[in-house]
Amino acid sequence: MSDLPSRIRDKHADLSPTMQQASNYILSHLPDIPFESIRNLAQNSRVSPLTIIRLTRQWGFAGYPDFQAAARRHLFTDNNRGPDTHAAPHQLNSPEIARAAQMINKAGNVYIIGVRNAHAFALYMNYMGRMVFNNFHLMPPSASVTAEDLARLSRDDLLIAFSTSPYATETVRLVQAAYKLGIPTIAVTDAARSPIAQSASVSICVPITKQARLYQMAPVISAIEQILETCYDDPATNADKRITDFAERVKSIKGYW
């Protein structure tokens, strides 16, 4: 397999003009990629975050975190070890991803919850989803969320909950309460035995590993991207036009530097 810059260049002619613009920027700023958030990269290359996700998939990666990992290997691995040997991206259970996407597309309202370390995932899914869906709502990461917020949900709505070991008590209680009320729930978690998976309508289980001190949480981001991409494949979402309109409106108010 060729090294990372060659891999990017080899795909360039097959890209749309917008993706080519982003590709050129990334090639010129490759040393920054390991430290750049997807939002900042999208702003700097003047495209939408979803364009960055789709671009990395054109290059054969599971999503932006997967591409960042390849960039780290390319930049920081000893050159004597040879070219980048990117492993095949982790693909989640396709039927579960498809079912989750179908539930999202049919829901009256989608409520997203994640507390403590999982709050970042809820924020990310809400941000990426609201480029296309107007019915996405981020639930506050507080202990009082159960009674107040569940009271607003009906069986036509959907709850998406994020939690991995050690599982947040607030999230577990919220999902259990939703189950009792008959509210459909998608759990994004790390094991089928997790307490939120056991009470969910659909569970998306991602592989979480731990190095010396820190858990490697990038697979959760990839799961979010796979779910939303599958949602956006439905022509009824009109995703491409909505994303383009969103990016243009942000540009019109100088939201990108």
Q: Is residue 242 part of a domain?
A: no
Residue 138's beta-bridge partner residues? 112
pLDDT, position 86: 41
List the Cα angle 40/23/53 in 5-degree steps: 60
Dist CA 256 CA 239 (whole Å): 21
Query: Residue 219: exposed, middle, or buried by beta-carbon count in 10 A (0-12, 13-18, 19+)?
Result: buried
Q: Residue 45 sits in which domain range?
A: 4-88
Q: In this structure, are 129 and 11 located in the same domain?
A: no
pLDDT, position 81: 39
Dist CA 192 CA 225 (whole Å): 20
pLDDT, position 145: 59
Q: Is residue 179 part of a domain?
A: yes
CATH number at residue 69: 1.10.10.10
Q: In this structure, are 69 and 107 located in the same domain?
A: no
Q: Which of 25, 58, 88 is the last residue of a domain?
A: 88
Cβ neighbours for 218, distance < 8 A, ≥ 6 positions apart:
65, 66, 68, 69
Q: Is residue 31 part of a domain?
A: yes
Number of domains, the chain? 2
Q: Could you list the pLDDT tens digit for every one of the 257 residues in the chain?
A: 358 888 898 888 899 999 999 999 998 888 888 878 888 898 889 999 889 999 999 999 888 888 888 888 887 654 433 444 344 444 555 788 899 999 999 999 999 999 988 999 999 999 999 999 999 999 887 655 556 677 778 899 999 999 998 899 989 999 999 998 899 999 999 888 899 999 999 999 888 877 777 777 888 888 898 899 899 989 999 988 888 888 888 888 887 77
Q: Is residue 248 part of a domain?
A: no
Q: In this structure, are 50 and 108 located in the same domain?
A: no
pLDDT, position 123: 94
Q: In this structure, are 98 and 222 located in the same domain?
A: yes
Q: In this structure, are 50 and 113 located in the same domain?
A: no
Q: Is residue 249 part of a domain?
A: no
pLDDT, position 163: 94
